[in-house]
């Protein structure tokens, strides 16, 4: 697809980081696609199972969406409103096809919106059933400091600034590394009219 430039990735503890993979014009087109998704499945503010509010707002597209509430972390077939999740836009699926090296298509595209105060604590993506399938993460909007650790909590970590258009593939031995977003550099991108960061993560769920 026009607007996807696959280059030699950086290696971050086994994660493949494709800097600037998504061209600016395609980024803007994807943002418009996401507006349609959010109209069908509005952003909501999740809480942890302990009842603590998360600082990101989220929604999903695909066969499944990811939800977090007092019932736990899980995938579900419907938005909290009870409506089915919308389809994953083709322009987003094209990024998966370009870098995932996976035979299967993603069943969920989790959409997280970060304002200037949001962060994501260090965590593993392990609610999926098949860890041989990668997670593909797309950054849009403001710069974010991405931190990667180990397969168990604790120990030395490494960090890298992600810019709009960067794509990270978490697969193979790096699939279950702990990772998170420490902070967002508010206003560092002009992609979104009111600043902020959108992170898309595509996953095979079943």
Residue with structure tokens 């969920």? 108
Mean pLDDT of 17-37: 98
**Digit-coded pLDDT (tens) for 30-45:** 999 999 999 999 999 9
pLDDT (average), residues 8-35: 98
Q: Do the strands 15-18 and 167-170 form a parallel or antiparallel pair, or are they unpaired?
A: antiparallel
pTM assigned to the model = 0.96
User: Phi-psi bin for 53: left (phi > 0), alpha (psi -120 to 50), beta?
Assistant: beta
Q: Alpha helices, DSSP H only, in the chain?
A: 24-40, 90-99
Each residue of 29-86: pLDDT tens digit?
999 999 999 999 999 998 888 888 899 999 999 999 999 888 888 999 999 999 999 9
Number of other residues whose CB lies within 10 A of the CB of residue 102: 17
- Domains detected in the chain: 10-203 (2.60.120.590)
- The overall average pLDDT reported for the chain is 96
Band (pLDDT 50/70/90 cuts) for residue 199 is very high
């Amino acid at each position: 697809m026009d607007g996807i430039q696959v280059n030699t990735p950086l290696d971050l503890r086994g994660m493949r980081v494709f800097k600037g993979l998504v061209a600016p014009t395609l980024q803007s087109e994807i943002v418009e696609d996401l507006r349609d998704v959010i109209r069908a499945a509005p952003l909501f503010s999740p809480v942890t199972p302990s009842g603590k509010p998360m600082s990101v707002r989220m929604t999903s597209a695909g066969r499944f969406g990811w939800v977090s509430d007092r019932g736990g972390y899980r995938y579900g077939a419907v938005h909290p409103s009870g409506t089915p999740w919308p389809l994953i836009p083709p322009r987003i699926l094209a990024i998966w096809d370009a870098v995932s090296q996976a035979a299967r298509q993603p069943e969920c595209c989790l959409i997280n919106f970060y304002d200037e105060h949001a962060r994501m604590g260090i965590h593993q993506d392990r609610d999926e059933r098949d860890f041989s399938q990668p997670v593909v993460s797309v950054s849009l909007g403001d710069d974010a400091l991405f931190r990667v650790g180990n397969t168990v909590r604790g120990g030395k970590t490494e960090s890298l600034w992600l810019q709009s258009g960067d794509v990270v593939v978490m697969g193979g031995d790096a699939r279950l590394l702990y990772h998170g977003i420490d902070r967002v550099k508010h206003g560092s991108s002009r992609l979104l009219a009111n600043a902020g960061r959108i992170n898309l993560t595509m996953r095979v769920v079943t």
